[in-house]
Structure 1
Amino acid sequence: MSRPNRHSPAALPARHRTAVRKVGRSPFPTQLSLRSKVLDVCLVAVWGATIPGLLWLGSMGGF
């Protein structure tokens, strides 16, 4: 008979045993709308253009 070790489910506290989610279920409750997806892409594009732009302005300013 094998003894429970630190990797077996019996060795985990009760709060950790119930926290395991089923495979295939999404952690997000709803699907994102098309508007939210487009807004996210635009935000990333603006952020991605802002960083090199500020670096360029800084180098032109002598920093």
Structure 2
Amino acid sequence: MLNQGGHFYVCGSARQVPEDIYTAMKEVMMAHERCPEEEAEAILSNLKMEGRYTVEAWS
């Protein structure tokens, strides 16, 4: 996803889904990239700014 320009699109209930997916993605980043939590959060933040991590949630 990171190296080949992949996109991640999340959709679901606004109650817990976006937060749960973000936490899971952060854990994957930490394990795959072998980086601390702060760096994983920065990676996800960059993906959001680039339009490669999109959340569509409703209540």
TM over 0.5: same fold? no
Larger Rg: 1
- When normalised by structure 1's length, the TM-score is 0.31
Question: Relative contact order (C-alpha < 8 Å, sep 6+): which is higher?
Answer: 2
Q: Which has the higher strand share?
A: 2
- TM-score w.r.t. the length of structure 2 is 0.33
